[in-house]
Each structure stands twice: as C-alpha cells, then as structure tokens.
Amino acid sequence: METQKLNICLINDSFPPRIDGVANAVVNYARVINGGLGSATVATPYYPDADDSGYGFDVVRYPSIDTTALVGYRAGIPFGPDTISGLAGRGFDLIHSHCPVSATMLARSLRDVIDKPVVMTYHTKFDIDIEKAIRLHILQEGAVRVLADNISACDEVWTVSRGAGDNLRKIGYEGDYIVMPNGVDFPRGRLPEARVRELTSAALKAAGASVPEGVPVFLYVGRMMWYKGIRITIDALRMLAETGRDFRMVFIGGGIDRDEIVEYAASLGLDKLIFLPPTTDREEIRAWYCRADLFLFPSTFDTNGLVVREAAACGLASILVAGSCAAEDSTDGEDSFLIEENSLSMYSKLAELAGDTARMRAAGERAQSSLYLSWEDSVKAAYERYGVVLENYRSGAPKEYSTLSEAMIGLNARAISEQMSLQNWFENVRRSVRSNVLDIFR
C-alpha cells in the first residue's frame, strides 16, 4: 500500500547559519521528506545573516532574541500571532519539534490552532545546558520542571539514543518514548585521495598551518564547548607530546568556549594543535574525516554522537568514553576504542595506537560496516512512524495536559482563533505570566 503523502512542519531553534548536530538533523529531515516522501517546511528563529536559498524546501523565520552569549544560539519567540497564523495556513498534517523549549512551545500553540499532533525529538541533555546558563539552583530546578512538563505535553516523544531516554527520566519525564536514531548525510565510502588533499590543504593554508607527511592526524568536529570532553583531549595530547611523539590534532568548530580552549592549549605550549573555524562545506568536513587517523570524542554530554557516525561513514574509527551515548552500539577494539573519562586513559590509548596505522585503519573499516546509518533510512523510519502518530491522534482519547505553561499556550491559540488585537493579546499574555509564574517554584 502506498504511503500517504504528509505535509510536515519541522521546528527547531538551531538551523544554519547556526551549525550543530541538531541543525544538521533538521536540514536532513526536510531534505529527505521533500525528496519523495511528502513535503516539509522548517520553522526556525530569525538570524540576521541567514541565507535560506538553495535548500529545495521552505524555511519560515520567526522573531528571535540574541541569546548566543548565554546558550550559543538565538532563541525563538514562540508566542506571536503572526507566526502562528502564518504557519496555520500551510495545511500541515503533523508538527515535529526538535527542541523541547521554545520550539515546542510554538509547536503546541500551532497544535491548538490546527488540531494536529506534535512529535518531539529529544536530541540534547538540556539539564546540562540549563545548569550552565542558570547559576541559581532554585531557578535551575524550576526550569527543568518546566522543560519536563513541556515535553510531557507532546503527543509522542522520540529520543535519538537509549542514553537520551535515560536523561529524560533524570529530568522528570515519566511518559513513553521511542528511540529514533539519527543518520548521516555522507555516503558510505571515502573521497578520492586527491580531493581529500586538495580540500584539507586549502583549509590548512587559510589557517596558516600545515601537517607533515607521515605523522598521525587526530580530529575533532563539533561545538567547542568544555563539556564535550575537550580538556580531556588536550591534556592527553600534552602528555603524548612530552614523550616526543609527533602528531597533529585538528579541531573544527566554533562555540562560546572556543577562545578559552585555544588559550588553554597555548598556555600548555602545544604547537601541534590546529584550530579551524566552523564550516558549512560538508565535502570539506568529509575530507577531514578521510584525512584523519582517529576521531577523538570523549564526550559524555552528547546523546547521539552524530559525528561518530559521520566518521564511520568515511572509514574513521573513534576514541569514545565507555558507557557514553556516543559509544552505544560500538565494540571496543573492533569498530572503536573505549576509554575511561579522564586524560590519562585517553593518553594511554593514543600512545598505544599512534604508531599502528594498520590497526586504526582496520577499526575504521569495521566502523563503516557496523555503525553507518544514512539519513534516507533514518528519516524513512521516522516518516513511517508519523502515520502511526496520526492514527493514534485521530482515534485515541484526547490527551489531558496539565502543565505550567498550558494556560499561556491555550491563550495564544484563542488569540489567533478570535483574531484579537495585538494590544489585547499582549495584555492577556502579561496577566497569564503574572498569575502562573509562581507555579514554577511550587
């Protein structure tokens, strides 16, 4: 039986020019769905330097505030009549939020207007982001409670890994969830060697750096945040350098901790580390995966480790922390190398592997077979599940929502439905916030 063609609204706070794993996921959901499954539109916050041409799918920008210094990206403003009414007219069958905060607030407001289900994918350990952004403990507790309530109000919840599901439980979510892993947009296999050298050499030249022939090359791609385990990597590399071993370590990415990370490496006198800026050129990133000998990713923060699958697509094995989400489905010594979460363990593994190119290459080849998952297969599975969500929504009993923000969500929907004036709408929102804000701390 032919699958129904669905019209999907994808909502997320991060999207190019913001570059991270979740933004990449949303791009590929939209790309694959519009490639033959159905249709999809991305709703995402306004960025002043965004260029949404050339995607092959619609991108709707809605108002935002600049919170990059706090959380690394702009936060969308979900309660806007123009935003909701504009999206409501697009005939969506289902709303899929990829962020449990403001994007899900917007998704719920839209659901109240168009009466369509909301799916929410939990990609990131948001309790860690909250701890970093909010210093006062009582406010952290209140924010996590609101986060859990917001997730609970969705019609179905997905996680990208088993570990992400464990984190959902940690923040207080008690409902059901389904593991729906992300894929990668690289084909399985390596770029031609000449192309690898061309792209990586150009990036090195632009940065005023070079990599000698015959030395091991280690790689990190992603946000430059301390909680990604980057200090473990740098301290381990310092120990390796002190043994006289030659190597190069390439970091590719940006983030609010990048300057501190660069300064820390400089303070240790490490001249074997190369810091390259973030890039949206996927072929260049693929070239670096092909150029490197090992991918170093000692992160226990990430819930999926999308970059680990990207590396595997190119035949590159990773060093990972045993028990981390990024290490799920990996086999130590076969398709990856597992360590304890400390720099000494990382150093010991690097010292063991750095001179054994054949062993690193063999593990990368096995990773290419065992860990690879394409976005086409990943999104196809998700799209098939959309049909189940719709059937459950149409035939099931109405879900009862009793969350702190429900009054505001319902108010927003009524404002759209009744065509209230903007002035009256803001006044009612103000009253709703004032009457409900103390509930956060009960």
- Residues 354-399: tens digit of each pLDDT: 989 999 999 999 999 999 999 999 999 999 999 999 999 998 755 6
Contact 291, 190 (CB under 8 A): no
- Whether cis (ω within 30° of 0) applies to the bond prior to 100 is no
Per-residue confidence at 422, pLDDT binned at 50, 70, 90? very low
- Whether cis (ω within 30° of 0) applies to the bond prior to 398 is no
Q: How far apart are CA 271 and CA 110, in angstroms?
A: 52
Contact 312, 372 (CB under 8 A): yes
Per-residue confidence at 113, pLDDT binned at 50, 70, 90? very high
Is the pLDDT at 412 greater than 90? The verdict is: no
* 278: number of Cβ within 10 Å: 18
Per-residue confidence at 440, pLDDT binned at 50, 70, 90? very low
User: Which of 62-66, 174-178, 336-340 reaches the highest mean pLDDT?
Assistant: 336-340
Per-residue confidence at 52, pLDDT binned at 50, 70, 90? very high
Percent of the chain with pLDDT over 90: 66
User: Which residue in the block uniquely carries the two structure tokens 């983030």?
Assistant: 255
What the block records as the tokens of 396 is 């099931």
Domain 7-183+376-441 has CATH 3.40.50.2000: yes
- Any idea where the domains of the chain sit in the sequence? 7-183+376-441, 193-372
Sign, CA dihedral 37-41-47-48, equals positive
Per-residue confidence at 131, pLDDT binned at 50, 70, 90? low
pTM, whole model, 2 decimals?
0.75
pLDDT of residue 247: 96
- For residue 176, CA distances in Å to 83, 165, 371 come to 30, 9, 26
* Nearest alpha carbon to residue 114 among 426, 412, 421: 412
Higher pLDDT, 431 or 93: 93
Percent of the chain with pLDDT over 70: 84
Is the pLDDT at 313 greater than 60? The verdict is: yes
User: Which of 225-234, 321-330, 400-409, 427-436 reaches the highest mean pLDDT?
Assistant: 225-234
Do the domains 193-372 and 7-183+376-441 match in fold?
A: yes
pLDDT of residue 139: 55
What average pLDDT does the chain have? Answer: 87
pLDDT of residue 272: 95
Is the pLDDT at 144 greater than 90? The verdict is: no
* 275: number of Cβ within 10 Å: 18
Q: What is the average pLDDT across 171-178?
A: 91
Question: Which of these CATH numbers, 3.40.50.2000, 2.40.50.100, 3.40.50.300, 2.40.10.120, describes 193-372?
Answer: 3.40.50.2000
pLDDT of residue 325: 87
Read off the pLDDT of residues 282-299 as tens digits, 9 standing for 90 and up. Answer: 999 999 999 999 999 999
What the block records as the tokens of 20 is 């991270």
Bridge-based pairing of strands 273-276 and 336-339 is unpaired
User: Which of 62-71, 138-147, 355-364 reaches the highest mean pLDDT?
Assistant: 355-364
Higher pLDDT, 74 or 253: 253
Q: How far apart are CA 157 and CA 188, in angstroms?
A: 29
pLDDT of residue 152: 93
